[in-house]
Structure 1
Amino acid sequence: MKPEMLPAPTPSAEAHWVEGELVRSLMRTQRDTQWVGLLLMAVIVGVLWGDASPPLLAAWVLLGAAAAGWRYWILRRYEREVVHQGSDEHLAFLRRYQLAFPLSALVWGLTTLLYFDRSSLADQFICWLMMAGLAMYSVNGLSSQLPTLRAYLDTLAVTALAVLAWRMGVELRLQGPAYHWWLVVLLLVFWQVLRHAGLRLHETYRRNFELQFRNAQLIESLTRQTQAALDAVEIKNRFLASAAHDIRQPVHALGLYADWLGTEPELVHELAPKIVESTKAVNQLFDSLFDLARLDSGKIRLNIEPVDVAKLLRDLELQYRPLCEARGLQFRVRVRPGTAVTDPILLQRILGNLISNAVKYTQQGGILLAARTTREGLRVEIWDTGVGIAPVHQREIFREFYKVPSHPGTEDGFGLGLYIVGRLTHILGHPLSLQSRVGRGTVFRLALHPTDPAAAADRAVASIAQLVSRP
């Protein structure tokens, strides 16, 4: 059986998963970012303590603390409610709280009100250096989500530039020192460099997650193919066990005929035709086994045609009567003329397995193979006087490899005979029923309803799908 190939993932499914993982990566960096921000706030306050206006500095600290508190609350909610959820929940969470990032950038951009052209050049240098470091750190922490990173950098740069423009144009009326203009140029260049670096890092993140998604798909596909290969091996194993089960009986019959011929050579003219017929039966069983192998691989073609039931029962009598007589059992056949529309080889396989089971579990008495005409059509019955089947086991006996506990003879079988019968009767549309009494015997009744070729083919395909999907 060819392994079932996993369908290629749709681009939208891959993109959706990748977007969710980018949000997850973004949120993983926020706890560290939180502590870095608080540390820098403390450094800013220490550097500007004697230079900045105390009310202005206090207002900035309160605003920064409020922004940090909000981000901390968002992070806690994420860890409680979203961290183990899927892509949809992560994307929805980011959409709900995405303003927290540009708000933090706004707070840090407003620090320029505290020090730009209001403190010593040394203190200004330290503050500008901390702001540059914060901006670079944000590239590393936020670049997994490019819109979030750009919103942060744009808000930070625009706020700082707005403060510079106000100080230079409104308060100083463009009469300030020349280094102000160089500072504006450096800020613009640095802003664009960070945006470009963020884009490159974001592309790296995205490619990594896309690779993870495709690797996961590949692993799943390989797992499915491996399981399909194991299923195919299991089917072959069942076929080999089935072959050993079904060939034993006709070969045994041939052995008995050969023994009789060796001890009573004068019966050669009587036994030779039976040996020929038994050999044909073996060949037919080989054909049926190979048909079952094709059935298990989904490649069998059912041969539905009118079958002479009387002739089929006589052929089965030729095959199984020597086995019964060798065990001291009677084998009787009651034949009524009639035809059934079915697959002749598979029908012979069904009846052969039922007779074989009857012989195996009957110690005294005999077997009756009978065809009867009912209002619903022709019916074949197999009666035995064997050990019987308790009600608790009557459904289980049609399971693969199931053997009734404590039944004599089960150690010689594979538990396949009735399993095969159950599958084939279902495919052919021949209802099978049984009645049994422990210690008294069993009767199987097979109703030979006409087989519809199309419906039988559909049932065969469904049977294979169910067989391969089993754990």
Structure 2
Amino acid sequence: MKPDLPVAAATPAESLWVEGELVRSLMRTQRNTALVGLALIPIFLAVLWTDAELWQLMTWLACAAGVAALRFWVIARYQGEVVNRGAQEHVDFFRRFSFVFPLAALVWGATTLLYFDRSPLSDQFICWLVMAGLAMFSINALSGRLATMRAYLNTLAITALAVMGWRIGVELEFQGPTYHWWLLLLLVIFWYVLREAGRRLHLTHRRNFELQYRNNQLIESLTRQTQAALDAVEIKNRFLASAAHDIRQPVHALSLYADWLRSEPELVDEIAPKIVESTKAVNQLFDALFDLARLDSGKVRLNVEPMDLEKLLRDLELQYRPLAEAKGLQFRVRAKPGTAVSDPILLQRVLGNLIANAVKYTQKGGVLVAARAAKGARRIEIWDTGIGIAPVHQREIFREFYKVPSHAGTEDGFGLGLYIVARLTQILGHPLSLASRPGRGTVFRLTLEPTDEKAAAERAQASVAQIRSR
């Protein structure tokens, strides 16, 4: 035989949900239960009408009617205030009004004062039969809440036993018939059997709801995983379509320039720069793909150290000034001496992507790269006078494969540059913000808070885990 697998411990959320559903199932039957109790009142009165004194019957009738009215009031309040609310509200409501059930048991248990050893045996038999029916009915109606069911049975049995004990020991001084003792014994046995049956029924209800909760969680988890798989397929399809489109353009241009150069070699001075630009475009596309692959595989290597910001910005100036000037743009760098604690290679990649974007989307004016002092850190700002980014797109531009509709220049990239920037800045712990006005330009601000290498490595792993769980 295979060993039983251990049952997973219930979480607080699961326990609360199960308790709420147990209350729902219990309260769902209370109107019918209350109606049954109400219908039994005239039966008791009819059976005992000639056996008990009128004032005793009327006193019991007033108590029974009062408890019945209280139960209907609780049910109405539940239907009006709680029935459509959450598990916590159900549990709280039931805790406030659970006293009603043992109170009802007390009233019905007190009926033994009216008939035990005071009525003919035939009438006593009918009354005991009604009491037994009430007790058995309670384990079905109240088993959703074990404590409440036990309180009902205990109150009913103890009240009856107390009345019988008083009659046998005090009033009859133990001189009554022998069957009294048999009744006491049968009542105790019946009480124990009902408690045990109620406990088992409660466990069945609870396990059913626990299974339902876990099935719902499993279905929800499978639904999320299925949706994630579908999203991944959609992203992959968009990626392949975008890659095929974006790589085809510069490769096709290279083919045209090569054919042109072969047929007219004397135009080499004019064609060669175009071939170089197309080659650079292909290289940039593949660089973006390689960066994305390293990020998603978790193979980003961190080398955090103090670095000279002025030297970093001057190196970037040498790399990107020619690109800006080739478009007729001004390219200015405002660098003051200062240091930051970060990974030089990854930080250079971040700033390079931001500067490249600024040059790419600026047609006139210029680009400014400046290092400024911030509270407890240094801040690098990249300003441009380009086309700007509308507010509706400012959050979306950091998503993978996202391209701002109608932006000139978006046709020659995968839409990965700012996505990679966002991932790297999150890993390095450098907050990135932007401000932009369409038609006026954009500024990206990167705050170089000191990078903790261990925390950065943990963020990198968490980033990979998040991507894989989507």
Instruction: Work out whether the TM-score is over 0.5.
Output: yes
Residues 168/276 of structure 1: CA separation in 2 closer, same or farther (3 Å cut): same
Residues 79/398 of structure 1: CA separation in 2 closer, same or farther (3 Å cut): closer
Q: CA RMSD in A?
A: 5.1
Which amino acid in the other structure matches residue 126 of structure 2? I
Task: Work out the CA distance in 1 between the residues paired with 2:214 and 2:175.
Answer: 60
Q: 2:177 is paired with a residue of what secondary structure? A: coil
Q: Which residue of 1 aligns with 2:179?
A: 179
Q: Which residue of 1 aligns with 2:204?
A: 204
Task: Work out the CA distance in 1 between the residues paired with 2:34 and 2:285.
Answer: 78
Q: Which residue of 2 aligns with 1:4?
A: none
Task: Work out the CA distance in 1 between the residues paired with 2:445 and 2:90.
Answer: 60
Question: TM-score with structure 1 length normalisation?
Answer: 0.70
Task: Work out the CA distance in 1 between the residues paired with 2:55 and 2:332.
Answer: 113
Q: 2:199 is paired with a residue of what secondary structure? A: helix
Mapping of residues 404-415 of structure 1, within 5 Å: none
Please state if 1:94 is matched with 2:94. yes
Q: Which of 280-289 and 270-279 deviates more?
A: 270-279
Task: Work out the CA distance in 1 between the residues paired with 2:359 and 2:291.
Answer: 20
Task: Work out the CA distance in 1 between the residues paired with 2:95 and 2:55.
Answer: 35
Task: Work out the CA distance in 1 between the residues paired with 2:16 and 2:370.
Answer: 65
Mapping of residues 105-120 of structure 1, within 5 Å: 105-120=105-120
Deviations 1:242-264 (A, max 9, x none): 53565355325413421321321
Residues 246/355 of structure 1: CA separation in 2 closer, same or farther (3 Å cut): farther
User: Is the 8 Å Cα contact of residues 342 and 450 (structure 1) preserved in structure 2?
Assistant: no
Q: Which residue of 1 aligns with 2:150?
A: 150
1:332 to partner: Cα distance: 5.6
Mapping of residues 155-166 of structure 1, within 5 Å: 155-166=155-166
User: Is the 8 Å Cα contact of residues 432 and 444 (structure 1) preserved in structure 2?
Assistant: no
Task: Work out the CA distance in 2 between the residues paired with 1:186 and 1:212.
Answer: 39
Residues 450/332 of structure 1: CA separation in 2 closer, same or farther (3 Å cut): farther
Unaligned 5+ segments in structure 1 are 1-7, 322-329
Q: Which residue of 1 aligns with 2:60?
A: 60
Q: Which residue of 1 aligns with 2:214?
A: 214
User: Is the 8 Å Cα contact of residues 291 and 420 (structure 2) preserved in structure 1?
Assistant: no
Task: Work out the CA distance in 1 between the residues paired with 2:191 and 2:447.
Answer: 83
1:192 to partner: Cα distance: 1.0
Q: Which residue of 1 aligns with 2:376?
A: none
Q: Which residue of 1 aligns with 2:45?
A: 45
Residues 253/338 of structure 1: CA separation in 2 closer, same or farther (3 Å cut): farther
Q: Which residue of 2 aligns with 1:325?
A: none
Task: Work out the CA distance in 2 between the residues paired with 1:241 and 1:44.
Answer: 82
Which amino acid in the other structure matches residue 74 of structure 1? V
Which amino acid in the other structure matches residue 151 of structure 1? A
Mapping of residues 109-148 of structure 1, within 5 Å: 109-148=109-148
Mapping of residues 162-311 of structure 1, within 5 Å: 162-233=162-233, 235-237=235-237, 239-240=239-240, 243-244=243-244, 246-248=246-248, 250-266=250-266, 275=275, 279=279, 282-295=282-295, 300=300, 308-309=315-316
User: Is the 8 Å Cα contact of residues 64 and 107 (structure 2) preserved in structure 1?
Assistant: yes
1:350 to partner: Cα distance: 5.4
Residues 185/435 of structure 1: CA separation in 2 closer, same or farther (3 Å cut): closer
1:181 to partner: Cα distance: 2.3
User: Is the 8 Å Cα contact of residues 242 and 414 (structure 2) preserved in structure 1?
Assistant: no
Mapping of residues 18-29 of structure 1, within 5 Å: 18-29=18-29
Percent identity, aligned pairs only?
Answer: 52
Aligned length: 434
Unaligned 5+ segments in structure 2 are 1-7, 336-343, 374-378
User: Is the 8 Å Cα contact of residues 146 and 199 (structure 1) preserved in structure 2?
Assistant: yes
Deviations 1:132-156 (A, max 9, x none): 1111001111111112111111111
User: Is the 8 Å Cα contact of residues 300 and 460 (structure 2) preserved in structure 1?
Assistant: no
Q: Which residue of 1 aligns with 2:71?
A: 71
1:413 to partner: Cα distance: 7.2
1:288 to partner: Cα distance: 2.4
1:40 to partner: Cα distance: 1.0
Which amino acid in the other structure matches residue 209 of structure 2? F
Task: Work out the CA distance in 2 between the residues paired with 1:112 and 1:195.
Answer: 21
1:176 to partner: Cα distance: 2.9
